[in-house]
């Protein structure tokens, strides 16, 4: 089954970016989060996603950074997470209610068991982070909620992905989407590895395939567009209203103008992709008739003469006997005189 009815389904990962927007624009954190939801909805996003955690449950105090320190100078995972763990169950419940009012899907990635529990009260689909792909007890706990799961696969092997899928299916029959992802912030274009999407389509033919993108948005949004064209039907990318803001998730995020570019690309793809079944198109009808070749008399052929290969040639238009039927012409006898350069038809032969 499809987790979402729309293809492609675009998820704007607001994450914790609303905190920086709030500080920049002098508004409350909640108002900033709702503003970003509004902007995401307005530019054509299908779902917004946040992150639910407490620093104490996600990282030890000496966990080193793994991101670009020139963009986000915080050297400790714990310290970075601590800056952005103000929201809890009540705040995310309010945001989920607001998303329902606006008409956009609410998602939040849980990073601890408490978050899994409270999100279950108002969230219909779970996202499992790449960082938890091998956290089998946690995966099984999420799966026990019996809700569809988006499974990110950054920094993983095929075996690890299959183990995670098996863990879900050990306790549930929920729908699963396997999300290609590169766990590098930002992901260089050379490391996007989009052909992995085609491999995942082959490796997991019974599951939907998606892509969670950490590259910096290219000018024409070709990364996300190519991912969709390769078979990723659920697409996720960080979202911001200001790419110039300092912080880990702004510089590689898309903004509303990027979303608009992507949507236009998808519209164009839907126009040009057509059908995978090879057959003549209506627009080819005239060319099929006029540009193909027919069997034509190479010289004057007298009545009663037997037609040989030396008597004929092949010319446009294709309104006569097709060269593919040459064996049905050679050896036949002319019923009438046939002038040079005449398209031969079966009425002339016996």
Per-residue pLDDT tens digits for 160-201:
999 999 999 999 999 999 999 999 989 999 999 999 999 999
Between CA 184 and CA 66 the distance in angstroms is 8
Confidence check: pLDDT of 150 > 70 = yes
Supply the pLDDT for residue 216: 96
Q: Which two tokens stand for residue 261?
A: 């570019």
| Residue 30: its H or E element | helix 29-42
In terms of Cβ atoms closer than 10 Å to its own Cβ (0-12, 13-18, 19+), residue 320 is buried
Per-residue pLDDT tens digits for 219-263:
999 999 999 999 999 999 999 999 999 877 899 999 999 999 999
Query: Alpha carbon of 194 to those of 129, 222, 236: distances in Å?
Result: 19, 11, 14
Checking DSSP bridges between strand 176-181 and strand 208-213, what pairing results, if any? parallel
Number of H helices, E strands in the chain: 12, 10
Per-residue pLDDT tens digits for 11-50:
999 999 999 999 999 999 999 999 999 999 999 999 999 9
Q: Which two tokens stand for residue 204?
A: 């997991």
In terms of Cβ atoms closer than 10 Å to its own Cβ (0-12, 13-18, 19+), residue 12 is buried
Evaluate whether 188 touches 215 at the Cβ level (below 8 Å): yes
| CA-wise closest residue to 231 among 216, 212, 211 | 211
Between CA 183 and CA 80 the distance in angstroms is 17
Annotation: CATH topology of 282-348: Type Iii Antifreeze Protein Isoform Hplc 12 (3.90.1210)
Question: Rounded to two decimals, what is the model's pTM?
Answer: 0.88
CA torsion angle 36 41 45 50 (round to 10) = 40
Per-residue pLDDT tens digits for 278-316:
999 999 999 999 999 999 999 999 999 999 999 999 999
Between CA 273 and CA 141 the distance in angstroms is 41
Domain ranges of the chain: 9-273, 282-348
Backbone φ and ψ for 219, nearest 5 degrees, come out as: -55, -40
Token pair 């099984």: residue: 140
* pLDDT, greater one: 63 or 147: 147
Evaluate whether 295 touches 323 at the Cβ level (below 8 Å): yes
| CA-wise closest residue to 22 among 350, 242, 172, 236 | 242
Q: How confident is the model at residue 67 (pLDDT cuts 50, 70, 90)?
A: low
Calculate the average pLDDT of the chain: 95
Superfamily of domain 9-273: Aldolase class I (3.20.20.70)
Supply the pLDDT for residue 42: 98
β-bridge partners, 181: 212
Per-residue pLDDT tens digits for 123-133:
999 999 999 99
Cα atoms found within 13 Å of the Cα of residue 222, Cβ hemisphere only? 4
Confidence check: pLDDT of 136 > 80 = yes
């Amino acid at each position: 089954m499809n987790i979402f009815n729309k293809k492609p389904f675009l998820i704007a990962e607001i994450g914790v970016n609303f905190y920086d927007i709030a500080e920049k624009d002098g508004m409350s954190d909640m108002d900033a989060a709702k503003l970003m939801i509004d902007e995401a909805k307005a530019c054509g996003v299908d779902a917004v996603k946040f992150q639910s955690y407490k620093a104490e449950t996600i990282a030890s105090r000496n966990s080193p950074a793994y991101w670009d320190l020139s963009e986000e100078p915080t050297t400790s995972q714990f310290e970075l997470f601590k800056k952005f763990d103000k929201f809890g169950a009540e705040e995310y419940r309010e945001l989920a209610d607001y998303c329902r009012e606006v008409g956009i899907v609410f998602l939040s990635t849980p990073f601890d068991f408490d978050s899994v529990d409270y999100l279950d009260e108002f969230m219909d689909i779970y996202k499992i982070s790449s960082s938890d792909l091998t956290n089998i007890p946690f995966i099984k706990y999420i799966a026990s909620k019996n809700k569809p799961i988006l499974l990110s696969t950054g920094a993983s092997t095929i075996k690890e992905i299959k183990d995670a899928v098996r863990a879900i299916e050990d306790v549930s029959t929920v729908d699963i989407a396997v999300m290609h992802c590169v766990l590098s912030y930002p992901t260089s274009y050379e490391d996007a590895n989009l052909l992995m999407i085609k491999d995942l389509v082959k490796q997991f033919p019974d599951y939907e395939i998606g892509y969670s993108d950490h590259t910096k948005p290219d000018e024409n949004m070709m990364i996300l567009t190519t991912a969709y064209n390769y078979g990723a039907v659920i697409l996720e990318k960080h979202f911001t209203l200001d790419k110039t803001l300092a912080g880990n998730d702004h510089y590689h995020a898309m903004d509303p103008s990027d979303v608009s570019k992507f949507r236009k690309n998808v519209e164009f793809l839907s126009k040009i992709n057509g059908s995978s079944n090879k057959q003549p198109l209506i627009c080819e009808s005239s060319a099929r008739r006029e540009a193909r070749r027919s069997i034509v008399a190479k010289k004057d052929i007298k009545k009663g003469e037997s037609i040989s290969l030396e008597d004929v040639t092949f010319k446009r238009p294709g309104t006569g006997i097709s060269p593919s039927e040459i064996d049905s012409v050679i050896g036949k006898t002319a019923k009438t005189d046939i002038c040079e350069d005449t398209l031969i038809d079966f009425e002339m032969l016996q």
